[in-house]
Protein backbone atom coordinates (compact mmCIF):
# COMPACT_ATOMS: atom_id res chain seq x y z
CA UNK A 1 0.00 0.00 0.00
CA UNK A 2 1.35 3.41 -1.02
CA UNK A 3 1.72 5.66 2.02
CA UNK A 4 2.41 9.35 2.55
CA UNK A 5 6.19 8.89 2.85
CA UNK A 6 6.37 7.02 -0.46
CA UNK A 7 4.26 9.68 -2.17
CA UNK A 8 6.60 12.39 -0.89
CA UNK A 9 9.59 10.50 -2.26
CA UNK A 10 7.92 10.00 -5.64
CA UNK A 11 6.93 13.66 -5.79
CA UNK A 12 10.49 14.78 -4.98
CA UNK A 13 11.79 12.47 -7.72
CA UNK A 14 9.33 13.97 -10.23
CA UNK A 15 10.47 17.48 -9.25
CA UNK A 16 14.14 16.54 -9.56
CA UNK A 17 13.70 14.92 -12.98
CA UNK A 18 11.39 17.64 -14.33
CA UNK A 19 12.25 20.92 -12.56
CA UNK A 20 9.16 23.15 -12.92
CA UNK A 21 11.32 26.22 -13.60
CA UNK A 22 12.86 24.71 -16.73
CA UNK A 23 10.14 22.26 -17.88
CA UNK A 24 7.30 23.28 -20.21
CA UNK A 25 3.97 23.22 -18.36
CA UNK A 26 2.33 20.43 -20.36
CA UNK A 27 5.51 18.33 -20.29
CA UNK A 28 5.53 18.60 -16.51
CA UNK A 29 1.86 17.65 -16.30
CA UNK A 30 2.37 14.64 -18.61
CA UNK A 31 5.32 13.49 -16.48
CA UNK A 32 3.22 13.92 -13.34
CA UNK A 33 0.47 11.78 -14.87
CA UNK A 34 2.97 9.10 -15.88
CA UNK A 35 4.41 9.09 -12.35
CA UNK A 36 0.96 8.24 -10.95
CA UNK A 37 0.74 11.55 -9.12
CA UNK A 38 -2.16 13.07 -11.08
CA UNK A 39 -5.00 11.52 -9.05
CA UNK A 40 -3.36 9.07 -6.71
CA UNK A 41 -6.52 7.01 -6.14
CA UNK A 42 -6.75 6.14 -9.87
CA UNK A 43 -5.22 2.86 -11.05
CA UNK A 44 -1.55 2.46 -11.89
CA UNK A 45 -1.00 3.37 -15.56
CA UNK A 46 -3.96 5.77 -15.57
CA UNK A 47 -2.41 8.63 -13.64
CA UNK A 48 -2.66 7.06 -10.20
CA UNK A 49 -1.12 4.56 -7.80
CA UNK A 50 -4.22 2.90 -6.33
CA UNK A 51 -3.46 4.93 -3.21
CA UNK A 52 -6.06 6.27 -0.75
CA UNK A 53 -7.69 9.37 -2.18
CA UNK A 54 -6.96 11.32 1.00
CA UNK A 55 -3.23 11.18 0.20
CA UNK A 56 -3.66 13.42 -2.84
CA UNK A 57 -3.25 16.34 -0.43
CA UNK A 58 0.30 15.20 0.35
CA UNK A 59 1.30 15.36 -3.33
CA UNK A 60 -0.51 18.64 -3.95
CA UNK A 61 1.21 20.32 -0.98
CA UNK A 62 4.70 19.20 -2.11
CA UNK A 63 4.07 20.37 -5.66
CA UNK A 64 2.61 23.71 -4.59
CA UNK A 65 5.60 24.36 -2.31
CA UNK A 66 7.91 23.73 -5.28
CA UNK A 67 5.96 26.13 -7.51
CA UNK A 68 4.88 23.37 -9.92
CA UNK A 69 2.14 24.21 -12.44
CA UNK A 70 -1.32 22.70 -11.99
CA UNK A 71 -3.75 21.53 -14.67
CA UNK A 72 -6.07 24.55 -14.18
CA UNK A 73 -8.94 22.45 -12.80
CA UNK A 74 -11.55 25.18 -13.26
CA UNK A 75 -10.95 25.22 -17.03
CA UNK A 76 -11.41 21.47 -17.36
CA UNK A 77 -13.99 20.98 -14.62
CA UNK A 78 -16.45 18.92 -16.67
CA UNK A 79 -13.71 16.56 -17.79
CA UNK A 80 -12.17 16.15 -14.36
CA UNK A 81 -15.29 16.19 -12.25
CA UNK A 82 -17.76 14.34 -14.45
CA UNK A 83 -16.32 12.63 -17.53
CA UNK A 84 -13.28 11.10 -15.82
CA UNK A 85 -15.10 9.20 -13.03
CA UNK A 86 -17.56 7.87 -15.61
CA UNK A 87 -14.81 6.82 -18.03
CA UNK A 88 -13.02 5.13 -15.17
CA UNK A 89 -16.12 3.24 -14.00
CA UNK A 90 -17.51 2.21 -17.39
CA UNK A 91 -14.87 2.67 -20.12
CA UNK A 92 -13.02 -0.22 -21.73
CA UNK A 93 -9.26 -0.40 -21.16
CA UNK A 94 -8.68 1.20 -24.58
CA UNK A 95 -11.09 4.02 -23.78
CA UNK A 96 -9.40 4.75 -20.45
CA UNK A 97 -5.94 4.67 -22.04
CA UNK A 98 -7.02 6.95 -24.88
CA UNK A 99 -8.92 9.61 -22.97
CA UNK A 100 -7.80 10.01 -19.36
CA UNK A 101 -4.33 11.45 -19.89
CA UNK A 102 -5.16 14.32 -22.31
CA UNK A 103 -8.24 15.00 -20.18
CA UNK A 104 -6.22 15.38 -16.98
CA UNK A 105 -3.39 17.32 -18.61
CA UNK A 106 -5.99 19.69 -20.09
CA UNK A 107 -5.05 19.12 -23.73
CA UNK A 108 -8.63 18.02 -24.45
CA UNK A 109 -11.59 19.87 -22.98
CA UNK A 110 -14.86 17.97 -22.38
CA UNK A 111 -18.49 19.04 -22.36
CA UNK A 112 -21.73 17.36 -21.29
CA UNK A 113 -24.45 16.68 -23.90
CA UNK A 114 -27.30 15.72 -21.54
CA UNK A 115 -30.03 18.41 -21.37
CA UNK A 116 -32.47 18.88 -24.24
CA UNK A 117 -35.24 21.40 -24.94
CA UNK A 118 -37.77 18.84 -23.66
CA UNK A 119 -35.60 17.07 -21.09
CA UNK A 120 -33.91 18.95 -18.25
CA UNK A 121 -35.10 17.97 -14.78
CA UNK A 122 -36.86 15.04 -16.43
CA UNK A 123 -33.64 14.06 -18.17
CA UNK A 124 -34.75 10.48 -18.79
CA UNK A 125 -37.37 11.82 -21.23
CA UNK A 126 -34.61 12.77 -23.71
CA UNK A 127 -35.34 12.36 -27.41
CA UNK A 128 -31.94 12.43 -29.15
CA UNK A 129 -31.78 9.15 -31.06
CA UNK A 130 -28.84 6.82 -31.58
CA UNK A 131 -29.37 4.01 -34.08
CA UNK A 132 -26.87 1.22 -34.50
CA UNK A 133 -25.29 0.74 -37.93
CA UNK A 134 -22.73 -2.06 -37.81
CA UNK A 135 -19.84 -0.96 -35.61
CA UNK A 136 -21.07 2.61 -35.29
CA UNK A 137 -24.07 4.49 -33.94
CA UNK A 138 -25.76 7.27 -35.90
CA UNK A 139 -26.95 10.09 -33.67
CA UNK A 140 -29.59 12.74 -34.44
CA UNK A 141 -31.11 15.30 -32.10
CA UNK A 142 -30.62 18.53 -30.21
CA UNK A 143 -28.96 19.30 -26.91
CA UNK A 144 -29.12 22.58 -25.03
CA UNK A 145 -27.36 24.58 -22.28
CA UNK A 146 -24.12 22.82 -23.15
CA UNK A 147 -21.37 24.62 -21.23
CA UNK A 148 -17.99 24.80 -23.01
CA UNK A 149 -19.23 23.06 -26.19
CA UNK A 150 -17.47 25.82 -28.16
CA UNK A 151 -14.08 24.77 -26.82
CA UNK A 152 -14.67 21.07 -26.24
CA UNK A 153 -12.89 18.30 -28.11
CA UNK A 154 -15.05 15.50 -26.64
CA UNK A 155 -18.47 15.19 -25.03
CA UNK A 156 -20.23 12.77 -22.76
CA UNK A 157 -23.56 12.12 -24.45
CA UNK A 158 -26.71 10.23 -23.58
CA UNK A 159 -29.13 9.22 -26.33
CA UNK A 160 -32.22 7.07 -26.80
CA UNK A 161 -31.45 3.70 -28.33
CA UNK A 162 -34.75 1.91 -27.66
CA UNK A 163 -37.97 3.98 -27.78
CA UNK A 164 -40.08 0.88 -27.05
CA UNK A 165 -38.77 0.61 -23.51
CA UNK A 166 -39.75 2.84 -20.56
CA UNK A 167 -37.78 6.07 -20.53
CA UNK A 168 -35.07 5.09 -18.06
CA UNK A 169 -34.29 1.80 -19.76
CA UNK A 170 -33.78 2.68 -23.43
CA UNK A 171 -30.87 5.11 -23.01
CA UNK A 172 -27.20 4.53 -23.93
CA UNK A 173 -24.14 6.53 -22.92
CA UNK A 174 -21.43 7.54 -25.44
CA UNK A 175 -18.30 9.59 -25.91
CA UNK A 176 -19.01 11.97 -28.79
CA UNK A 177 -16.37 13.59 -31.00
CA UNK A 178 -17.15 17.31 -31.08
CA UNK A 179 -15.19 17.69 -34.35
CA UNK A 180 -17.55 15.31 -36.22
CA UNK A 181 -18.97 17.26 -39.21
CA UNK A 182 -22.51 16.56 -37.95
CA UNK A 183 -21.95 18.52 -34.71
CA UNK A 184 -23.08 22.15 -34.89
CA UNK A 185 -22.51 24.43 -31.88
CA UNK A 186 -24.44 27.70 -31.57
CA UNK A 187 -23.96 30.23 -28.74
CA UNK A 188 -26.73 30.92 -26.22
CA UNK A 189 -26.47 34.36 -24.65
CA UNK A 190 -27.05 34.45 -20.92
CA UNK A 191 -28.34 37.07 -18.48
CA UNK A 192 -24.70 38.14 -17.94
CA UNK A 193 -24.40 39.05 -21.64
CA UNK A 194 -21.87 36.27 -22.13
CA UNK A 195 -22.36 32.96 -23.92
CA UNK A 196 -20.58 30.32 -21.89
CA UNK A 197 -23.11 27.73 -22.97
CA UNK A 198 -24.59 26.61 -26.26
CA UNK A 199 -27.20 24.70 -28.15
CA UNK A 200 -25.77 21.73 -30.01
CA UNK A 201 -27.36 20.16 -33.08
CA UNK A 202 -26.42 16.58 -33.92
CA UNK A 203 -27.05 15.47 -37.50
CA UNK A 204 -26.01 11.96 -38.53
CA UNK A 205 -23.10 12.08 -36.08
CA UNK A 206 -21.26 8.76 -36.22
CA UNK A 207 -19.93 7.29 -32.98
CA UNK A 208 -17.92 4.07 -32.96
CA UNK A 209 -19.41 1.37 -30.74
CA UNK A 210 -16.03 1.30 -29.00
CA UNK A 211 -16.93 4.74 -27.60
CA UNK A 212 -20.00 3.43 -25.78
CA UNK A 213 -19.73 3.51 -21.97
CA UNK A 214 -21.56 0.66 -20.28
CA UNK A 215 -24.05 -1.66 -21.95
CA UNK A 216 -26.50 -0.51 -24.61
CA UNK A 217 -29.69 0.43 -22.75
CA UNK A 218 -27.86 0.92 -19.43
CA UNK A 219 -27.06 4.60 -20.01
CA UNK A 220 -29.29 5.86 -17.21
CA UNK A 221 -27.27 3.97 -14.63
CA UNK A 222 -24.02 5.21 -16.17
CA UNK A 223 -25.39 8.77 -16.13
CA UNK A 224 -25.98 8.53 -12.37
CA UNK A 225 -22.22 8.31 -11.87
CA UNK A 226 -21.82 11.51 -13.86
CA UNK A 227 -24.67 13.36 -12.13
CA UNK A 228 -23.63 12.46 -8.58
CA UNK A 229 -20.09 13.60 -9.35
CA UNK A 230 -21.42 16.76 -11.04
CA UNK A 231 -23.15 17.92 -7.86
CA UNK A 232 -20.02 17.43 -5.83
CA UNK A 233 -17.89 19.20 -8.42
CA UNK A 234 -20.26 22.21 -8.61
CA UNK A 235 -20.79 22.68 -4.88
CA UNK A 236 -17.83 21.00 -3.30
CA UNK A 237 -14.61 22.57 -4.59
CA UNK A 238 -11.85 22.88 -1.96
CA UNK A 239 -11.45 26.56 -1.11
CA UNK A 240 -9.57 28.48 1.58
CA UNK A 241 -11.45 30.58 4.15
CA UNK A 242 -13.09 33.52 2.30
CA UNK A 243 -12.08 31.82 -0.96
CA UNK A 244 -15.67 31.70 -2.28
CA UNK A 245 -18.29 34.34 -3.00
CA UNK A 246 -17.99 35.79 0.52
CA UNK A 247 -14.41 36.94 -0.18
CA UNK A 248 -15.12 40.00 -2.35
CA UNK A 249 -17.93 41.21 -0.05
CA UNK A 250 -15.77 40.90 3.08
CA UNK A 251 -13.01 42.79 1.25
CA UNK A 252 -15.36 45.62 0.24
CA UNK A 253 -16.64 45.77 3.84
CA UNK A 254 -13.12 46.15 5.21
CA UNK A 255 -11.99 48.67 2.61
CA UNK A 256 -15.10 50.83 2.38
CA UNK A 257 -16.28 52.03 5.82
CA UNK A 258 -18.47 54.62 4.04
CA UNK A 259 -20.79 51.82 2.85
CA UNK A 260 -21.36 50.15 6.21
CA UNK A 261 -24.70 50.00 7.99
CA UNK A 262 -25.73 48.13 11.13
CA UNK A 263 -28.26 45.96 9.25
CA UNK A 264 -25.77 44.98 6.53
CA UNK A 265 -23.19 44.16 9.19
CA UNK A 266 -25.50 41.63 10.84
CA UNK A 267 -26.40 40.01 7.49
CA UNK A 268 -22.78 39.87 6.39
CA UNK A 269 -21.81 38.11 9.63
CA UNK A 270 -24.64 35.57 9.19
CA UNK A 271 -23.53 34.82 5.63
CA UNK A 272 -19.86 34.70 6.62
CA UNK A 273 -20.66 32.02 9.20
CA UNK A 274 -22.86 30.12 6.71
CA UNK A 275 -20.01 30.22 4.18
CA UNK A 276 -17.58 28.83 6.69
CA UNK A 277 -20.02 26.06 7.65
CA UNK A 278 -20.49 25.24 3.94
CA UNK A 279 -16.72 25.18 3.39
CA UNK A 280 -16.13 22.83 6.32
CA UNK A 281 -19.07 20.63 5.27
CA UNK A 282 -17.34 20.38 1.89
CA UNK A 283 -14.19 19.18 3.62
CA UNK A 284 -16.20 16.52 5.43
CA UNK A 285 -17.86 15.45 2.20
CA UNK A 286 -14.46 15.07 0.56
CA UNK A 287 -13.37 12.85 3.43
CA UNK A 288 -16.49 10.70 2.92
CA UNK A 289 -15.61 10.49 -0.76
CA UNK A 290 -12.38 8.81 0.21
CA UNK A 291 -14.57 5.83 0.98
CA UNK A 292 -16.38 5.67 -2.36
CA UNK A 293 -18.67 7.36 -4.88
CA UNK A 294 -20.63 10.46 -3.88
CA UNK A 295 -24.18 9.87 -2.66
CA UNK A 296 -27.11 12.23 -2.11
CA UNK A 297 -24.98 14.30 0.32
CA UNK A 298 -23.49 15.92 -2.81
CA UNK A 299 -26.99 17.16 -3.71
CA UNK A 300 -27.34 18.78 -0.29
CA UNK A 301 -23.94 20.44 -0.73
CA UNK A 302 -24.92 21.82 -4.13
CA UNK A 303 -28.21 23.13 -2.71
CA UNK A 304 -26.35 25.11 -0.06
CA UNK A 305 -23.83 26.43 -2.58
CA UNK A 306 -26.58 27.89 -4.81
CA UNK A 307 -28.51 29.43 -1.92
CA UNK A 308 -25.41 31.02 -0.41
CA UNK A 309 -24.03 32.37 -3.69
CA UNK A 310 -27.32 34.08 -4.47
CA UNK A 311 -27.70 35.54 -0.97
CA UNK A 312 -24.10 36.80 -0.82
CA UNK A 313 -24.04 38.31 -4.30
CA UNK A 314 -27.38 40.02 -3.50
CA UNK A 315 -25.87 41.48 -0.34
CA UNK A 316 -22.83 42.67 -2.28
CA UNK A 317 -24.96 44.61 -4.76
CA UNK A 318 -26.92 46.14 -1.88
CA UNK A 319 -23.74 47.07 -0.02
CA UNK A 320 -22.34 48.84 -3.06
CA UNK A 321 -25.55 50.82 -3.59
CA UNK A 322 -25.55 52.71 -6.91
CA UNK A 323 -22.10 51.35 -7.76
CA UNK A 324 -23.50 47.84 -7.53
CA UNK A 325 -25.87 48.57 -10.39
CA UNK A 326 -23.10 49.44 -12.83
CA UNK A 327 -22.53 46.75 -15.42
CA UNK A 328 -19.74 47.92 -17.63
CA UNK A 329 -19.54 45.64 -20.61
CA UNK A 330 -22.28 43.81 -22.49
CA UNK A 331 -20.00 42.38 -25.18
CA UNK A 332 -21.03 38.81 -25.96
CA UNK A 333 -17.90 37.03 -24.81
CA UNK A 334 -17.39 33.27 -25.12
CA UNK A 335 -15.56 32.46 -21.87
CA UNK A 336 -13.84 29.14 -21.42
CA UNK A 337 -14.72 28.94 -17.75
CA UNK A 338 -16.89 30.51 -15.11
CA UNK A 339 -14.84 32.70 -12.82
CA UNK A 340 -16.48 34.75 -10.08
CA UNK A 341 -13.22 36.36 -9.03
CA UNK A 342 -11.82 39.43 -10.75
CA UNK A 343 -15.33 40.34 -11.97
CA UNK A 344 -17.64 43.11 -10.84
CA UNK A 345 -20.46 42.65 -8.35
CA UNK A 346 -23.09 42.81 -11.10
CA UNK A 347 -21.57 39.84 -12.89
CA UNK A 348 -21.51 37.77 -9.69
CA UNK A 349 -25.13 38.71 -8.94
CA UNK A 350 -26.37 37.76 -12.41
CA UNK A 351 -24.25 34.64 -12.92
CA UNK A 352 -25.14 33.14 -9.55
CA UNK A 353 -28.80 33.00 -10.66
CA UNK A 354 -27.81 29.99 -12.76
CA UNK A 355 -26.41 28.17 -9.72
CA UNK A 356 -29.88 27.00 -8.68
CA UNK A 357 -30.55 25.59 -12.16
CA UNK A 358 -27.28 24.05 -13.40
CA UNK A 359 -26.44 20.52 -12.25
CA UNK A 360 -30.04 19.94 -11.13
CA UNK A 361 -32.47 22.63 -10.00
CA UNK A 362 -32.95 23.44 -6.33
CA UNK A 363 -36.46 21.92 -6.41
CA UNK A 364 -35.22 18.66 -7.89
CA UNK A 365 -32.33 18.45 -5.42
CA UNK A 366 -34.77 19.04 -2.56
CA UNK A 367 -36.76 16.05 -3.86
CA UNK A 368 -33.58 13.94 -3.84
CA UNK A 369 -32.71 14.97 -0.28
CA UNK A 370 -36.32 14.37 0.83
CA UNK A 371 -36.39 10.86 -0.62
CA UNK A 372 -32.87 9.62 -0.22
CA UNK A 373 -31.57 11.41 2.87
CA UNK A 374 -34.71 11.98 4.92
CA UNK A 375 -36.58 8.87 3.71
CA UNK A 376 -39.80 10.77 2.90
CA UNK A 377 -42.31 9.24 0.45
CA UNK A 378 -41.24 9.56 -3.21
CA UNK A 379 -42.98 11.74 -5.79
CA UNK A 380 -45.62 9.85 -7.79
CA UNK A 381 -44.01 8.50 -10.99
CA UNK A 382 -46.83 7.33 -13.23
CA UNK A 383 -44.76 7.06 -16.39
CA UNK A 384 -42.09 4.72 -15.04
CA UNK A 385 -43.39 1.61 -16.83
CA UNK A 386 -44.74 3.26 -20.00
CA UNK A 387 -42.78 2.86 -23.25
CA UNK A 388 -40.97 6.13 -24.04
CA UNK A 389 -42.62 6.34 -27.46
CA UNK A 390 -46.07 6.38 -25.80
CA UNK A 391 -45.30 9.21 -23.37
CA UNK A 392 -47.09 12.53 -23.85
CA UNK A 393 -44.57 15.09 -25.10
C1 LIG B 1 -25.36 27.87 -16.27
C2 LIG B 1 -25.89 26.55 -16.73
C3 LIG B 1 -25.05 25.60 -17.29
C4 LIG B 1 -25.54 24.37 -17.73
N5 LIG B 1 -24.67 23.48 -18.33
C6 LIG B 1 -25.15 22.31 -18.80
C7 LIG B 1 -24.28 21.41 -19.51
O8 LIG B 1 -23.10 21.67 -19.68
N9 LIG B 1 -24.79 20.28 -20.01
C10 LIG B 1 -26.11 19.95 -19.85
O11 LIG B 1 -26.50 18.87 -20.29
N12 LIG B 1 -26.98 20.79 -19.20
C13 LIG B 1 -26.52 21.96 -18.69
N14 LIG B 1 -27.38 22.83 -18.05
C15 LIG B 1 -28.80 22.49 -18.00
C16 LIG B 1 -29.37 22.16 -16.63
O17 LIG B 1 -28.94 20.89 -16.20
C18 LIG B 1 -30.90 22.24 -16.75
O19 LIG B 1 -31.22 23.58 -17.04
C20 LIG B 1 -31.59 21.81 -15.49
O21 LIG B 1 -31.45 20.43 -15.29
C22 LIG B 1 -33.11 22.17 -15.51
O23 LIG B 1 -33.71 21.74 -16.67
P24 LIG B 1 -34.62 22.74 -17.53
O25 LIG B 1 -33.83 23.98 -17.80
O26 LIG B 1 -35.13 21.97 -18.70
O27 LIG B 1 -35.83 23.15 -16.58
P28 LIG B 1 -37.13 22.28 -16.27
O29 LIG B 1 -36.75 20.89 -15.96
O30 LIG B 1 -38.12 22.49 -17.37
O31 LIG B 1 -37.65 22.95 -14.94
C32 LIG B 1 -38.46 24.14 -14.94
C33 LIG B 1 -38.87 24.41 -13.49
O34 LIG B 1 -39.70 23.33 -13.00
C35 LIG B 1 -39.16 22.81 -11.78
N36 LIG B 1 -39.36 21.36 -11.71
C37 LIG B 1 -39.13 20.46 -12.70
N38 LIG B 1 -39.39 19.21 -12.25
C39 LIG B 1 -39.76 19.31 -10.96
C40 LIG B 1 -40.15 18.38 -9.96
N41 LIG B 1 -40.19 17.07 -10.23
N42 LIG B 1 -40.48 18.84 -8.73
C43 LIG B 1 -40.43 20.19 -8.45
N44 LIG B 1 -40.07 21.12 -9.37
C45 LIG B 1 -39.75 20.70 -10.60
C46 LIG B 1 -37.67 23.14 -11.85
O47 LIG B 1 -37.10 23.19 -10.56
C48 LIG B 1 -37.69 24.51 -12.53
O49 LIG B 1 -37.93 25.53 -11.60
C50 LIG B 1 -26.92 24.07 -17.59
C51 LIG B 1 -27.79 25.02 -17.02
C52 LIG B 1 -27.28 26.24 -16.60
C53 LIG B 1 -28.23 27.23 -15.99
Q: Tell me, yes or no, whether 324 lies in a domain.
A: yes
Nearest atom in ligand 1 to the alpha carbon of residue 115 is: 11
How far is it, in rounded angstroms, from Cα 373 to Cα 297?
8
Last residue of a domain, one of 217, 246, 271: 217
Nearest atom in ligand 1 to the alpha carbon of residue 363 is: 47
Q: Tell me, yes or no, whether 392 lies in a domain.
A: no
In this structure, the answer to whether residues 237 and 367 fall within a common structural domain is yes
Mutate to test the pocket of ligand 1, among 227, 358, 381 (most ligand atoms within 8 A of CB): 358
Query: 210 alpha carbon to ligand 1 midpoint, in Å?
Result: 30
Last residue of a domain, one of 192, 217, 242: 217
Q: Tell me, yes or no, whether 255 lies in a domain.
A: yes
Confirm or reject: Cβ of 114 under 6 Å from ligand 1.
yes
Confirm or reject: Cβ of 354 under 6 Å from ligand 1.
yes
pLDDT tens track for 315-343: 999 999 999 888 877 888 998 888 888 88
In the chain, % helix, strand, coil (3-state, to 5) comes to 45, 15, 40
* CB burial of residue 68 (10 Å; 0-12, 13-18, 19+): buried
pLDDT tens track for 257-282: 999 999 999 999 999 999 999 999 88
In this structure, the answer to whether residues 204 and 231 fall within a common structural domain is no
Query: 361 alpha carbon to ligand 1 midpoint, in Å?
Result: 5
In this structure, the answer to whether residues 229 and 352 fall within a common structural domain is yes
Q: Tell me, yes or no, whether 381 lies in a domain.
A: no
Confirm or reject: Cβ of 115 under 6 Å from ligand 1.
yes
pLDDT tens track for 65-123: 999 999 999 899 999 999 999 999 999 999 999 999 999 999 999 999 999 999 999 99
In this structure, the answer to whether residues 318 and 203 fall within a common structural domain is no
Nearest to 232 by CA among 304, 311, 151, 312: 304
Last residue of a domain, one of 198, 217, 236: 217
In this structure, the answer to whether residues 213 and 227 fall within a common structural domain is no
In this structure, the answer to whether residues 152 and 180 fall within a common structural domain is yes
Q: Which is the catalytic residue, given 194, 230, 297, 316? A: 230
In the annotation, is 371 catalytic?
no
* CB burial of residue 46 (10 Å; 0-12, 13-18, 19+): buried
Which residue range(s) make up the domain with 303?
223-373
Q: Tell me, yes or no, whether 380 lies in a domain.
A: no
How far is it, in rounded angstroms, from Cα 82 to Cα 94?
19
Higher pLDDT, 55 or 284: 55
Run of H or E including 110: strand 110-113
In this structure, the answer to whether residues 45 and 117 fall within a common structural domain is no
Q: How many beta carbons lie within 10 A of that of residue 176, not counting itself? A: 26
In this structure, the answer to whether residues 43 and 121 fall within a common structural domain is no
Domain CATH number, residue 313: 1.20.140.10
Which residue CA neighbors atom 18 of ligand 1 most closely? 120
Q: Tell me, yes or no, whether 153 lies in a domain.
A: yes
Which residue CA neighbors atom 52 of ligand 1 most closely? 358
pLDDT tens track for 181-199: 999 999 999 999 999 999 9
In this structure, the answer to whether residues 313 and 263 fall within a common structural domain is yes
Nearest to 89 by CA among 233, 221, 287, 236: 221
In this structure, the answer to whether residues 172 and 230 fall within a common structural domain is no
In this structure, the answer to whether residues 189 and 268 fall within a common structural domain is no
Q: Tell me, yes or no, whether 190 lies in a domain.
A: yes
pLDDT tens track for 226-260: 988 887 777 667 788 999 999 999 999 999 999 99
DSSP H helices in the chain = 4-17, 25-34, 56-65, 77-78, 84-90, 93-105, 219-235, 246-255, 262-289, 297-320, 345-351, 362-368
pLDDT value of position 18 = 98
In this structure, the answer to whether residues 235 and 184 fall within a common structural domain is no
% of the chain beyond a pLDDT of 70: 98
Confirm or reject: Cβ of 367 under 6 Å from ligand 1.
yes
Mutate to test the pocket of ligand 1, among 82, 121, 370 (most ligand atoms within 8 A of CB): 121
Q: Tell me, yes or no, whether 99 lies in a domain.
A: no
Domain CATH number, residue 189: 2.40.110.10
Mutate to test the pocket of ligand 1, among 364, 366, 367, 382 (most ligand atoms within 8 A of CB): 364
Total tally of structural domains belonging to the chain: 3
Amino acid sequence: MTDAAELRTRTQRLLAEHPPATTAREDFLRARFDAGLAWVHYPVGLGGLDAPRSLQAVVDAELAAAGAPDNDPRRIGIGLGMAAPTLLAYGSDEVKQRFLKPLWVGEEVWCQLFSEPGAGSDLAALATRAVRDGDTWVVNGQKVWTSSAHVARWAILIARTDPDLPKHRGITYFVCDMTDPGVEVRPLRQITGEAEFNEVFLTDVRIPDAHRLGEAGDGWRVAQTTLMNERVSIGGARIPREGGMIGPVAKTWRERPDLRTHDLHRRLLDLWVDSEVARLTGERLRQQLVAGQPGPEGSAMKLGFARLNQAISGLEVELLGDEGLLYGDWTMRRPELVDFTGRDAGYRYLRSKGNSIEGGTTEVLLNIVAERVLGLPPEPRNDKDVAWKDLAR
